Structure 1
Amino acid sequence: MAFRVGTAGWSIATPLAASFPDEGTHLVRYGRRLPCAEIDSSFWRPHRRTTYERWAASVPPDFRFSVKMPRVVTHQKRLTETGDDVSRFLDESAGLGDRLGVLLVQLPPGGRFSPEIAASFFDDLRRRFDGMIACEPRHKGWFTPEAEQLLTDRRIARVAADPAPAPGAGEPGGWRGLTYRRLHGSPEMYISDYSPERLAAFATQLREDPADEIWCILDNTARGCALPNALTLWADVAPTAGPPGKSTQGE
């Protein structure tokens, strides 16, 4: 069982600098304290393969990234006629090499469940990519036995989100070899800080989860709460998970 706790991005605010001592870029320093990070910027714009290669070279061997699918695929084209876009994204993000842990497919709130479209998209993605995939649907139509089975059959985990956008969305689903939690901040998404009690409750959920690979990403980044929340949560589960490795890179 592998626990991973991290944040969306890896920016270190000045008030937290003392928690990330030593030299190097923000990513180098971040990678010495936490075992994973979510690359959210790939949703908004493409990155060169060499950029991904540089990021991979900046973190310890056991560090892993998740990478968010571009919005042109999920929000603009709504999973249809996306072959060229997916190919480009996979070629770029392959620069992470073995530091690539999960592909994250976040769907728009209005993205209804269509069995035909979903099956076609994820079958095509599975032919191209054999690693772990997590899908974060936000429309209530995805939280049905039919949608669950479709994801399970293709080894795709359904994200457990907080706050939950629909009944059932707060619990992991789909393929249960991977749990991928995204904590967006509640009650105010992207802004609210999590109390010590809420973080302790999340830690208990992580420890009791039967999945082989367990990720938890803090996404309440708007006011800088994600990083201190992640450090607190990781400190709680790290004795079980084992500490992250030491970076072999100086920059």
Structure 2
Amino acid sequence: MVQGSTRPPHAPPRIGCAGWSIASRDVALFGDGASMLARYATRFDLVEINSSFYRPHRRATYERWAASVPAGFRFSAKLPRTITHEYRLRGCGPLLDDFLEAATGLGDRLGCLLVQLPPSLAFDARSAATFLAVLRRRWTGGLACEVRHGSWLTPPAEALLQRHGVARVAADPARHGTDARPGGAPDLVYWRWHGSPQIYRSAYDAAALDALAAAIAARPASRHWVVFDNTVAGHATGNAAALQDRLQAGPATAAGPAARRRR
């Protein structure tokens, strides 16, 4: 069993991107560093490793990444698509072992695992419960699941996620409406914003970022991890920095334009 890193429940939100590429327009937001990851970590304290979804990395690679960032920095590592999309959560014990043997090279900087399910994978209580039990025997740290079939947005699925301590990702754009709101275990709120209206490409405007800042401020007792995945056109770093500025400015700013006008 691998124990994941934890964070106090009232800690400030962690904000970052899916990957640590820095758009040329945003270079001035970051300090100097020996690598792109080290420069990224001068501004943000969270990054989501999406490349692990597509291909395996050696443990030495994860160890090198961990050594590139400060002690307070955290990684979220995405489970391989072989587990979620090919095996569809069934018979995954050996695959999980292989993935975790490598990914735990991040040490205590590995703060969360992300499970992104295929849109075609409907909720099946037996296979989902078996998978989560198998995973939880191997990993006790943060765990988030992005569900994309509407059958997961039901009381039985919600109860199962809560029982295993799994945060249901609050995704934008939402596929089914209620998946825009966080669910599952309440101690971790995991936001994944993919870009809207054009997924992965569009930047978020000020109104959208105000709304997200207000939603985060409305749940002060939870740990918030916010990941911008609108990386294709390079908008993730700018949006993440803009949200960071809003939250650091205080409650009035996080509450949105109306609150700022009253100030």
* TM-score between both structures, scaled by the size of structure 2: 0.89
**Aligned-pair RMSD on alpha carbons?**
1.3
**Structure 2 portions without partners, runs of 5+:** 1-9, 252-263
Distance (Å, rounded) in 2 between the aligned partners of 1:83 and 1:240: 45
Pairing of 1:98-117 with structure 2 (within 5 A)? 98-117=108-127
User: 1:212 Cα shift?
Assistant: 2.9
Q: Contact between 1:63 and 1:99, CA under 8 Å: does it hold in 2?
A: yes
Distance (Å, rounded) in 2 between the aligned partners of 1:135 and 1:95: 22
Q: Which has the higher contact order (CA 8 A, sep 6+)?
A: 1
Corresponding residue of 1:246: none
Amino acid at match of 1:117: S
For residues 39-87 of structure 1, give each alpha carbon's deviation from its aligned partner in whole angstroms, at most 9, with x where no partner exists. Answer: 0000000011111111111111111010000000000110001111110
Distance (Å, rounded) in 1 between the aligned partners of 2:18 and 2:174: 18
Corresponding residue of 1:11: 21
Q: Contact between 2:31 and 2:43, CA under 8 Å: does it hold in 1?
A: no
User: 1:240 Cα shift?
Assistant: 5.7
Greater Cα offset, 158-167 or 136-145: 158-167
Distance (Å, rounded) in 1 between the aligned partners of 2:249 and 2:64: 30
Q: Contact between 2:23 and 2:235, CA under 8 Å: does it hold in 1?
A: no
Secondary structure of the residue aligned to 2:179 is coil
Amino acid at match of 2:153: F
Q: Contact between 1:178 and 1:211, CA under 8 Å: does it hold in 2?
A: no
Corresponding residue of 2:203: 193
1:155 to 155, 160, 165: 165
2:128 to 114, 118, 134: 118
For residues 189-233 of structure 1, give each alpha carbon's deviation from its aligned partner in whole angstroms, at most 9, with x where no partner exists. Answer: 101110011111111111112443111100001100111000000
Corresponding residue of 1:94: 104
Distance (Å, rounded) in 2 between the aligned partners of 1:18 and 1:124: 44
* TM-score between both structures, scaled by the size of structure 1: 0.93
Q: Contact between 1:104 and 1:135, CA under 8 Å: does it hold in 2?
A: yes
Greater Cα offset, 201-210 or 140-149: 201-210
The verdict on how the C-alpha distance between 1:230 and 1:67 changes in structure 2, with shifts beyond 3 A counting, is: same
Distance (Å, rounded) in 2 between the aligned partners of 1:118 and 1:52: 28
2:88 to 60, 78, 81: 78
Q: Contact between 1:140 and 1:167, CA under 8 Å: does it hold in 2?
A: no
The verdict on how the C-alpha distance between 1:18 and 1:167 changes in structure 2, with shifts beyond 3 A counting, is: closer
1:206 to 216, 223, 241: 216
Q: State, as a whole percentage, how many aligned pairs show the same letter.
A: 50
**Structure 1 portions without partners, runs of 5+:** 242-251
Distance (Å, rounded) in 1 between the aligned partners of 2:99 and 2:221: 27
Distance (Å, rounded) in 1 between the aligned partners of 2:250 and 2:143: 24
Amino acid at match of 2:60: T
Amino acid at match of 2:237: L
Secondary structure of the residue aligned to 1:134 is strand
